[in-house]
Each structure stands twice: as structure tokens, then as C-alpha cells.
Amino acid sequence: MSHVPEPFDRRDPEGAVAAIVKRCSNVGRWGPDDVRGTLNFLDAAKRVDGARLVRRGVSFSLAQRFDASGPQKGWRRRTNPVHTMLDTGVDAEFGDQGFPHGIGGADDVIFMPLQASTQWDGLGHIFDHGQAYNGRRASQVVTSEGDRVTGIETVADLIAGRGVLLDVGRMIGTDGELPDGFPITAEHLERTLAAEGVSVGRGDLVCVRTGQLTRARREGWGDYAGGAAPGLSLTTADWLFESQIAGIATDTWGFEVRPNEFDVLAFQPLHQVAIPHIGLFIGEMWDLDALATDCAADGVYEFWLTAAPLPVTGAVGAPLNPIAVK
């Protein structure tokens, strides 16, 4: 792969995105009816290869907690999860739940935006000039009934295979962390891979640790949700496209560097390329710290990863509890 970044005009985000799209597009690659995008790269043979990586049987949850103490601040009505009990032990002990022969129980309910915590962006989440993934019109894909074409349920059984951790925070940063606003380039990704002695390619699920979540846990959430953050540079679009990875996730709220790399108003331009054009599945707010500590200890940065989204019919994003097994 060529890793020399193409220059772009920091005063023209629309032109920059358009130029990248000409080089980096999977539209039509798997036919007009495709709903899987880059998950087409993750086939049965790749899953078998991934399963062979389990040696010690030690497992790591890569999910943040789903509770009211999360990072959300209400932007675009995104709130932290609200968990409420419907039946409790108090009801069972002192009330009448209507059950026979002394049996009692507890039950509960949760209300949450589907992208409140650890989640995947689905292919119906981002559009480019009214275009959804694979050249479809956005209005014909996502309606008030949800994503009727590429809803997250269409890939519920696909996201499991070889995972690779790129601990950029540890390899490039200071004390394991990158500063907010740090743009991770393809050169940074390649340096990290070389330091770890691993490679990534077709069908892999890549996890990029920046260390921002570590810092947020130490110092408080602050502007973790939507504020300045380290993340992938727009210039990594070619790397993401050429590598043929199946998905990529970070420990940050928005995956790409924030503020975005323009001198004028811009918002998530790498998303604008990656989702509707590359068809790439993007994970956000993953907790990679415990896994990173183990990888640094044993020097092994590849593992079996199962990361199935909750199959909410028509959802454009979904929560999950990714499990890495080494």
C-alpha cells in the first residue's frame, strides 16, 4: 500500500472529501444490492484464521459501562442510559407480585440512544450529499421507520474474526496517551504495527487505542463526548480503503481527530468518506485499556474478536459488548 498522504486544501472540506472519494470507493464493488460493505472482506476462512489465535483463553470485554455515569451531555438528544426497575426484591418480599407458591422476581428496563456508549456505526448512519452507502438515495434508505436497507441487523452474525490492537497511544504518545487534537496518520499506524511486530490486512478488525479514555477516567469526562480528541486523520482514508480491513474501532467518541483538520467549518469528513463510500464499519467508545495492558505484557497484539451489534431492526448504529480472546 502507498502511505504517502495526499495533500488537501484546509479551506475546502467539500473539495477534499470529493477528491478522496474518487480514489476510495467500494460503491458497486459487491453488486447493487450489497448491504455488508467492508464486512464482505471477512469471510469464513478469515474467521477460521482468527479462531486459531486463541492460545491462553483469557478474555477481555472492550465495552464501557452502560449507565447514567457515562460521557453523554445531550448533544443531538444523546443522553446516557437510564436504567429503571420494574419489579424489585422489596416488591417480592413485602408486596404481592401475583405469583403462586412464594416465587418472586425482579425485572428491569433501559432507555438509551443506541450510540450512547460502546457501539458500531451502521452503514445508514452517515450520508454524502444525500447519498447513502452503495449509491443509494438517503431518503430511500432511512425513513421514520428506520434503516430499511442496511439496518444493523443485516450484519448481526458477521462481525467476528481476527482482531488487531494498534496501541498508538503507547507506541507514539507520551505515558501511553495522545493529546487531544492529535491527528493519527497512516505513518503513525505503520510505525505502531512495526513496533508491535504485527500486520493488518483483508478482513481484519482493527482496534486503535489513543489513550483518551484512560485520561477521561483519570480526570473526568469533560468534553470526551464531542470535544477535542486524538483520532484518525482524514489522510488515512487511503490506508483504510487499501488495507481492506472489515472494521475499525477506537477508544474515542468520534473515531477521527477533533477538531477536524480544516480552517473553516467542518464536521467528521472521514466519516463522510468511510461510511457511504468505503462501506466501512466504525466502532466508537471502546474500552481498550485492559487488553492493551495484556498485549504489552506478552507482546501479542492479535486475538479472536467477536463484536456483534445488538440486532435492533432498522437501527443505524447499535451498542455491543466486544469480547477479545487471546
Q: What CATH number is attached to the domain comprising 140? A: 3.50.30.50
Q: What average pLDDT values come out for the chain (326 residues) when binned by 10 residues? A: 73 97 98 98 98 98 97 93 96 94 96 97 98 98 98 98 98 97 98 98 98 98 97 98 98 98 97 98 98 98 98 98 98
Flag whether 211 is in a domain: yes
Cα-Cα end-to-end distance for the chain: 28
Beta strand 302-306 with 160-167 is antiparallel
Length of the chain as a residue count = 326
pLDDT for 4 equals 63
Contacts of 45 (CB under 8 A, 6+ apart): none
Same domain, 122 and 43: yes
Q: Residue with C-alpha cell 403462586?
A: 100
Same domain, 184 and 270: yes
pLDDT for 1 equals 55
Same domain, 98 and 185: no
Same domain, 235 and 275: yes
What domain range includes position 33? Answer: 13-74+114-325
pLDDT for 150 equals 98
Flag whether 3 is in a domain: no
- Structural domains of the chain, count: 2
Q: What is the 3-state secondary structure (H, E, C) of 185-225?
A: CHHHHHHHHHHHCCCCCCCCEEEEECCHHHHHHHHCCCCCC
Same domain, 131 and 279: yes
What is the 8-class DSSP label of residue 26? -
pLDDT for 6 equals 75
- List C-alpha distances in Å: 285 to 1, 77, 94, 197: 28, 18, 41, 26
Same domain, 96 and 192: no
Flag whether 28 is in a domain: yes
Flag whether 212 is in a domain: yes
